[in-house]
Amino acid sequence: MDINTLKLRYGIIGNDPKLLMALHKAIQVAPTDLSILINGESGVGKDVFSRIIHENSLRKHAKQGKGLVSVNCGAIPEGTIESELFGHVKGAFTGADRNRKGYFEEADGGTIFLDEIGELPLSMQVKLLRVLENGEIIPVGSSTALKVNVRVVAATNVDLVAAVRSGRFREDLYYRLQQISIAIPPLRERKEDIPLLFRKFSSDVAEKYHMPPIFLTEDGREYLMNYPWYGNIRELKNVTEQVAVVETERNISRAILENYMSYVPEEKMPALYSGTNTGSDGSTITDRELLLKALSMGQMINELRGEINELRQAVTQLAQGLPVGEGHPKPSPIATKGTTEYPLIESPHAAPAGELQVIHPAAQGDPSEEEYFQDSEVVEDEPLALEEREKRAIRLALERHGGKRTAAAKELHISERTLYRKIKEYDIEL
């Protein structure tokens, strides 16, 4: 099958060289039984590539099983994922009143698509490695291994190399999965394809709802091509459908499009760390460590404020001839009101050379000493439990982004799945 026929059959729009290379690679490896790892951001169409690979292989005619079985590893709770993948026998656990086939047994003879493979727990990674190497599964509660003939196609939107380095993903499983690697480019790297996709999605809406089609103005076209599209094709499709249905104006300009975009430019956002999460020794910092480091900054600022206050008092005591740390000196004369400062200066008349004398504000005609000299108060935060600090940071991030989890997760440098779990764990109301 040539590329143009393939694009037409699966509804793929675009002529970007990276996209065409990925499609060509998928067609070339489809007839083999090699494990394939598809890399790409969320929303780029990794599930479409899994169908291309399966439906152009000999396994599409599998008589047993379901042919292609798709599994979202990030959506299955950790406590049940083994049973979901490998099945269980009657009596294996409370509620197991009958034998149940897992996804691997259902896909016997066909292909299993493991999406979000990077979210698979470490305990399950070992068992998946056994399937890839020996073709054997052991249902929960059973002591008998079952042979399955399954081709594995996995997909991820995270950097598995970094996950391997941080110990969150097994290195042997990584190399076993990526016998063949296919990279799907994000939409922001396919700028010329964006107007084509917009036209396709808008035409579909017009045909479905019997509406006049919409068209992009020149500034609208430029705006779409330079928008970052972190949600990729899924986000573009949603925006196009909203604009086509809601707007009465059929010529869509930048001003109209901006009302439907969720991305906030960096200059309007709080400063965020934009580098890789690595320590000074080159080791990878986990999401939790990074979050806790951010939470500790407030406490560090208060500690610094307290040290500055102590230093001011020490300077005052020295200037008044008192031993440092004794007595109850007046507040530091290095006080300010507006932009006026009263520094310590050397007085040739009242003090020996080299000593410092305080110039009292009243001596300069200032009306009120109390108005200038106020005891500085250091507000010390109560030390919070790690869970409470984490909960507070998540709540603040969600409030800043109007409850949008994607933006809040980016600010906190954690995955959306982790943020969702934390919201449920801490019972945070949105």
pLDDT score for 207: 94
Enter the tokens of residue 267. Answer: 């200059």
pLDDT score for 292: 59
Name the residue ranges covered by the structural domains of the chain: 3-185, 188-263, 268-295+384-426, 298-364
- How many residues comprise the chain? 430
Q: Candidates 3.30.1370, 3.90.1170, 3.30.1490, 1.10.10; correct CATH number of 268-295+384-426?
A: 1.10.10
Q: DSSP assignment, residue 155?
A: E
Question: What pTM, to 2 d.p., does this model score?
Answer: 0.62
pLDDT score for 334: 43
Q: How far is CA 124 from CA 75, 89, 164, 172, 372, in A?
A: 14, 18, 15, 13, 67
* 216/254 Cα distance (integer angstroms): 9
Q: DSSP assignment, residue 314?
A: H
Q: Which of these, 45, 65, 38, lies nearest to 158 by C-alpha position?
A: 38
Give every CB contact of residue 382 below 8 A, 6+ residues apart in sequence. Answer: none
Give every CB contact of residue 306 below 8 A, 6+ residues apart in sequence. Answer: 378, 380
Taking the CB of residue 55, how many other CB atoms lie within 10 A of it?
A: 15
pLDDT score for 298: 61
Enter the tokens of residue 218. Answer: 């020149």
pLDDT score for 148: 93
* 35/79 Cα distance (integer angstroms): 26
CATH fold of the domain at 3-185: Rossmann fold (3.40.50)
Ordered mean pLDDT values, 10 residues apiece, the chain (430 residues): 91 95 96 95 94 93 76 91 94 88 93 95 93 93 92 95 94 94 96 96 94 95 95 95 94 95 57 50 56 62 72 68 54 43 43 46 46 44 62 84 84 81 81
Q: Candidates 3.90.79.10, 1.10.10.10, 1.10.8.60, 1.20.1560.10; correct CATH number of 188-263?
A: 1.10.8.60
pLDDT score for 353: 45
* 89/100 Cα distance (integer angstroms): 6
Return the amino acid letter for 244: A
Torsion of Cα atoms, 27 then 28 then 30 then 34, to 10°: -150
- Strands 36-39 and 151-156, how do they pair? parallel
Q: DSSP assignment, residue 249?
A: -
